[in-house]
Amino acid sequence: DIVMTQSPDSLAVSLGERASINCKSSRSILSSSNHQNYLAWYQQKPGQPPKLLISWTSTRESGVPDRFSGSGSGTDFTLTISSLQAEDVAVYYCQQYYTTPLTFGGGTKVEI
Amino acid sequence: QVRLVQSGAEVKKPGASVKISCKASGYTFSNHAIHWVRQAPGQRLEWMGWINGGNGNTKYSQNFRDRVTITRDTSASTAYMELSSLTPEDTTVYYCARGPDFPYMDLWGKGTTVTVSS
């Protein structure tokens, strides 16, 4: 199984400041056939299901604010919130979909 | 509107089975996969398996060692997940989620809580 490791476990960021979350896969999730990294990011607020923010490492879902961005390749990935807003308080998960079993990171809790 | 509606909370005895439903609306059910993911309190999300809404093909996580069965009824736009031989460790929230052409999940149900207790 591909193990997804996120860091940090939690971080506190001031409103308007940048938040960066790291995600590392135990092996490359870059496809040699289409040169795409099979990585998604989700946001989960308390009492709610996860919400897809980003797929293919950096493609934002419709309606996701552009302060959210994803980057990385191979085994190392980052989710960046450029200017933290109060509504961004949540737990963020990365997920690889390169192979089954699909696996998620342990989550990063973002607080103000 | 586009959504997935899951069945209600369940309480089961150890050794029993549970079957959860996930009804899709607002989109063409057969054009997408349905995944099942569970999440214990404070734990990471755990993928259980998926079903192709069109041809019914399934793929399961070996972590559940043949305890999980996912089916669908296209006429009802509904997917089902049955988990057998329940133990207290299966007490958690179970989500269904829609998968587009690739296995990430772009629409989630609200979750079904399953409690396993004697």
What pLDDT was estimated at residue B64? Answer: 86
Instruction: State the first-to-last Cα distance of chain B, in angstroms, to the nearest integer.
Output: 39
Q: How far is B41 from chain A (nearest CA, A)?
A: 11
What pLDDT was estimated at residue A100? Answer: 92
Residue B107: CB partners within 8 Å, gap ≥ 6? Answer: A52, B2, B3, B4, B97, B98
In whole angstroms, give the CA distance from residue A63 to residue A41: 14
In whole angstroms, give the CA distance from residue B67 to residue B61: 10
A16 at the B interface (CB within 8 A)? no
User: What residues in A contact B45, CB-CB < 8 Å?
Assistant: 42, 50, 93, 95, 104
What pLDDT was estimated at residue A85? Answer: 96
What pLDDT was estimated at residue B99? Answer: 93
Q: Which residue of B has its CA nearest to A98?
A: B103
User: What residues in A contact B40, CB-CB < 8 Å?
Assistant: none
User: What residues in B contact A105, CB-CB < 8 Å?
Assistant: 44
pLDDT mean over A20-28: 97
User: What residues in A contact B104, CB-CB < 8 Å?
Assistant: 40, 52, 55, 95, 97
Q: How far is B14 from chain A (nearest CA, A)?
A: 26
DSSP code string of A43-67? EE-TTS--EEEEETTTEEPTT--TT
What pLDDT was estimated at residue B43? Answer: 87
CA separation, residue B57 to residues A66, B34, B95 (Å): 36, 11, 19
Q: Report the number of secondary-structure helices (H) and strands (E) in chain B.
A: 0, 11
CA separation, residue A85 to residues A2, A88, A101, B27, B68 (Å): 32, 5, 34, 32, 40
B20 at the A interface (CB within 8 A)? no
What pLDDT was estimated at residue B8? Answer: 97
What pLDDT was estimated at residue B103? Answer: 84
A98 at the B interface (CB within 8 A)? no
Q: Read off the pLDDT of residues A28-86 as tens digits, 9 standing for 90 and up.
A: 999 999 899 999 999 999 999 999 999 999 999 999 999 999 999 999 999 999 999 99
A105 at the B interface (CB within 8 A)? yes
Per-residue pLDDT of chain B (118 residues; tens, 9 = 90+): 999 999 999 999 999 999 999 999 999 999 999 999 999 988 899 999 999 999 999 999 999 878 999 999 999 999 999 999 999 999 999 999 999 878 899 999 999 999 999 9
What pLDDT was estimated at residue B100? Answer: 84
User: What residues in A contact B62, CB-CB < 8 Å?
Assistant: 101
What pLDDT was estimated at residue A99? Answer: 94
